[in-house]
Chains A and B, each alone.
Chain A
């Protein structure tokens, strides 16, 4: 058979079917099957031919649908009735809640009733609303659910028990509002089995829109109704991070139910300030960001249009700014708690997600920022007259995206030219630096630290202080003697000093109005703009010290990896404070947020540039206990500075590295005493001065 003849036959087969000429169709299909036996033809076409033959032979296992049916086959409107013994009030309340949550949809009535169901004012309470929601305590044995794709929910359901005088629904239909069709359409169903738990997939029409669940006898007779108001709070959903951040100690499903309920109640009760508008600016080089997705835009518009019931108080409106790829949290869109902290924190709390799995990585809680560093604020809220609104609840979820090592190598997170562009090299307030090497280390460690210091550009190094010569460090110093001589020839005054007293160092540098830099031997400032960049961080008057991202490399054979070690210290366990000890831990994840400048409780003394002015350090009283222990003195001094109103800043724009791997995951216990305050009363101030990052464990 000729090629052209074959194709013409497909058309004739199509015509025969359309005109219902069964015998012709069968004859053509048989011919075609022969012709198509050899060669590479689309499988769908072969299957179609087979199905025509099967049907004509009376085998209707694979029913063939006609073209006309396909074009109208889309999702069907869901038809239902209420069973005689059903709890009509409960169904009415669920529909009332639904009508409030989906205002753009057609208002639902209980079948047989004329007016749309409404939620009575007395029903807006935790107990009544809680009963309408899908959770493990409700009537639906819904044990767990998670997203498997962007639009598919997998539900693990429990078993169905026949009870003596009551038979619970065996079949639950999940429904969503389809705005294009203006219909309630089914996303699939959950059929309960008597013996075993089972998995069911629901294909959502909209990945974030509320779900109405109708429990029935499987024949369209509904017995119960329930709601899943915010599916995106489920695991692998875009908002799951806020659940993990706000309910850290609860089991997953329980945390999701209670967070959903709490958000829903605030929305219904009114009076809670909430986000009604937003400005979201994903980085220019990220492909669109979540905010560009049509489903997200639709959902946000719908959420912001929701109103509390007419008799409830109105909700003060907030505007949310996000300088990243991110979205407002469900919490922010439904109602935020008022804050009454005294300190002005312009940044609001947010959660950072791994963009690949949407797994929550860390929580950033608000901290004080220098007044003159507005660019470092990623997320903030404003109320009326653009006044900053303070809040510690999670207001946004952000993607950790623009900092992958492939785009931002840890060795040079920001390119040197970009880094120095913003720094004016000829400013009058540029100050000379005194560098105190706090240890000598091995010969190699000392040598490479000194090389890195001698490479610093656009900064005048006034004095270099080295620990006194002794038997242990003599050899290392000898190896670097030529380099030290050269530095001396370049105008650096090299001095050996025996005391490790921070106060004296501060006073000495302060008297010359120099900056003081502490460097541990083995720390290398491999970028020549490092000191200059740290000096730029010190410009705002409230900043007392500045540090940067510290990294180290592992080399095993040819395998070469770089790891982030620390970006300053943040509070560790914050439990009810009995003792005066505060635990500080290293935070390493801040660089995942972006190229950030952040406030911390202390910068590591391994590399820190200090403004030695007395206004920051007058509370710091050196104690003999810490003599010779510079690290302890430094942590005490840092805490004293915060209690006096100062800030410590670190940046992830630039990195310095350890020549030999430092001890991993160090923790420090610091006593807060001698400042005339108890830790309990100092803690809020300490926390506010640190943009804490908490690692989240989903």
Chain B
């Protein structure tokens, strides 16, 4: 069985998330006859014919739906890996695009994957009967190198016994585009770090995080921490080095819907490097709870007594525990079973004719990509600059709105444009392969007044300059565009790519 995992970009391909979640599974899955390949969404379409199962990971735009549709055409099972909770908080305006994304995508999916029970529960609320599978983040294999681990623990134990410093590390994403998480959690629980100094030790906190998080606000949060803090930009190698030096990984968790469902992978990584894990609530790190602390005083007491939960004496227990709860072998087998059952039960779902409708903000979806995915690329009159799209709008020299359509599309979909504009003065641009339809003379199944209003809205939209103007017209324009597309291509499924990230 060939499993294609599709991620959003080359940067994501090289990121920690992909390494922890998918790369660790490649070999174990191979042992069960599943060949896992990782590709970016840009490359993905070429690999569809050779894939049995496609897993979409964090492609948060209309391409996800178009790819899912293409999978149906190719007879591949398609699923999405959903691991950040943007879905349950209906009151945060900024989460709406992600919520709409899931609403649009879910009906096109055969399955969903989550990394925690809590997230599984959230997704179940949103997607109803979609089959879901829990795939826990696994350990990185370091835990099996007992000698190395023993040595680093020995160094840490000696250093603790002989010095008065306590090396604490916080690592991870310091910010989130929407939620208060990362450095906020650290700041919120800063006094726990101060408590670690209550027996006279001096805490040296190392923060390893992404550069974007170090905004004015992010730095302010760090500067309020009550212990000595040093700051470094995260990279994988540095993370390993610093974890090997650290006595304690401090991983506070906020009691928010977003943070509560997160994966315990940072805790697992810290344990694999011989760090004690200090957190603030049990739920996220429940999987590894026999080896974590939620109370700074208990941790201190254990450290001073040489009886910390992660120590040379307990290494075997730790290894056994992680092999049981977070092992790639176990997860690979469960994944294989899930996919096989799914394939046995599958029903063919027909692919639809799909169009991606660009909104006010043109997203980074190239028309070429849409074509390889078999989707129609439509620029709304508000999108602006055209890029080899199948359908777009413009004003002629007399200020009348025109709908421009690619000849290729007319041929492929057998469109009857004579029906759409019988008395037309259609301009043919055979050299460019384009045809123009005058919107006000199109034959449409709506009242004259509605048709006039639609034409007016598109004309006004094509003259818009500011964001305010575009926003004022966006409802009218969306209605108009959807109505016109429906007239031209019966049965068309429109995926609205109106993401609104730049509104703030």
A contacts, CB < 8 Å to B? 3-4, 7, 10-11, 13-14, 17, 40-42, 44-45, 47-48, 65, 67, 70-75, 149-152, 180, 203, 207, 284-288, 292-295, 356-357, 401, 405-415, 417-418, 444, 447-448, 451-452, 454-455, 482-483, 486, 489-490, 524, 526, 528, 552-553, 555, 560, 562, 657-659
Contacts and interface: CB of A to CB of B under 8 A. Distances in A.
B93 A407 contact: yes
Contacts of B200: 70, 72-75
Contacts of A70: 163-164, 199-201, 304
Given A7-B155, A10-B158, A357-B220, A490 B449 contact: yes
B257 interface: yes
**Most chain B CB within a 10 A radius of its CB, from A152, A203, A294, A406:** A406
6 contacts: A13-B158, A44-B167, A356-B220, A415-B90, A560-B502, A659-B466
B90 A418 contact: yes
Contacts of A414: 91, 93
B87 interface: no
Nearest to A485: B452
A14 B452 contact: no
Interface string B468-491: 110111111000000000000000
Contact of A657 (B164, B225, B304, B468): B468
A41 B96 CA distance: 49
A44 B469 contact: no
Nearest to A408: B93
A7 B93 CA distance: 56
A3 B255 CA distance: 44
A407 B190 CA distance: 24
A44 B180 contact: no
B178 A406 contact: yes
Contacts of A71: 199, 304
Interface in B297-331: 304
Contact of A150 (B199, B224, B473, B504): B224
B221 interface: yes
B161 A286 contact: no
B89 A555 contact: no
B453 A74 contact: no
B489 to A, nearest CB: 26
B194 to A, nearest CB: 5
Nearest to A42: B245
Nearest to A487: B453
Nearest to A178: B198
Contacts of B452: 482, 486
Contact of A285 (B89, B185, B199, B244): B89
A657 B473 CA distance: 13
B146 interface: no
B98 to A, nearest CB: 12
A10 B154 contact: yes
A358 to B, nearest CB: 9
Contacts of B259: 287
B351 to A, nearest CB: 30
B199 A151 contact: no
B363 interface: no
Interface in B436-484: 449, 452-453, 456-457, 460, 466-469, 471-476
A73 B151 contact: no
A149 B223 contact: yes
Contacts of A287: 180-181, 184-185, 188, 254-256, 259
Contacts of B257: 284-285
Contacts of A14: 158, 161-162
A74 B158 contact: no
B94 interface: yes
A330 B165 CA distance: 37
B166 to A, nearest CB: 10
Contacts of B159: 42, 44-45, 48
A490 B476 CA distance: 15
Nearest to A14: B158
B471 A411 contact: yes
B251 to A, nearest CB: 14
Given A285-B89, A418-B91, A526 B155 contact: no
Interface residues of B, number: 72
Nearest to B177: A406
B500 A524 contact: no
Interface string B126-163: 00000000000000000000010001001100110111
Given A3-B151, A287-B254, A47 B179 contact: no
Interface in B205-248: 216-217, 220-221, 223-226, 241, 244-245
Given A451-B476, A455-B472, A285 B258 contact: yes
A3 B259 CA distance: 41
B258 A410 contact: no
A411 B500 CA distance: 10
Given A356-B217, A451-B473, A415 B93 contact: yes
B418 interface: no
B198 A150 contact: no
Nearest to B152: A7
Contact of B255 (A292, A408, A447): A292
**Most chain A CB within a 10 A radius of its CB, from B90, B147, B162, B476:** B162
Given A3-B151, A45-B155, A287-B188, 8 more contacts: A48-B163, A70-B164, A284-B89, A288-B188, A409-B93, A414-B91, A451-B476, A452-B472
B245 A207 contact: no
A589 B159 CA distance: 53
Contacts of A659: 466, 468-469
A448 B254 CA distance: 44
Contacts of B475: 455, 528
A657 B469 CA distance: 10
Nearest to B474: A526
A486 B255 contact: no
Nearest to B165: A44
Contacts of B155: 7, 10, 41-42, 45
A63 to B, nearest CB: 11
A42 B165 CA distance: 12
Interface string B39-68: 000000000000000000000000000000
B191 interface: yes
B409 interface: no
Nearest to B180: A287
Given A71-B304, A149-B226, A560-B467, A11 B256 contact: no
A286 B256 contact: yes
Contacts of A73: 164, 199-201
Contact of B178 (A207, A407, A486, A562): A407
B224 A149 contact: yes
A418 B90 CA distance: 8
Contact of B241 (A40, A489, A658): A40
B476 A455 contact: yes
B92 interface: yes
A405 B504 contact: yes
B154 A451 contact: no
Interface in B78-95: 89-94
A409 B504 contact: yes
A395 to B, nearest CB: 24
Given A70-B164, A286-B256, A287-B259, A407 B92 contact: yes
Nearest to B201: A70
A407 B181 CA distance: 13
Please provide the 10 A-B residue pairs with the shortest distance between their CB atoms, ordered closest to farther.
A73-B200, A287-B254, A151-B226, A405-B504, A409-B503, A74-B200, A526-B471, A71-B304, A415-B93, A524-B472
B490 to A, nearest CB: 27
A65 B164 contact: yes
Nearest to A70: B164
Nearest to A561: B504
B468 A150 contact: no
Contacts of A413: 93
Contacts of B154: 7, 10-11
Contacts of A409: 93-94, 500, 503-504
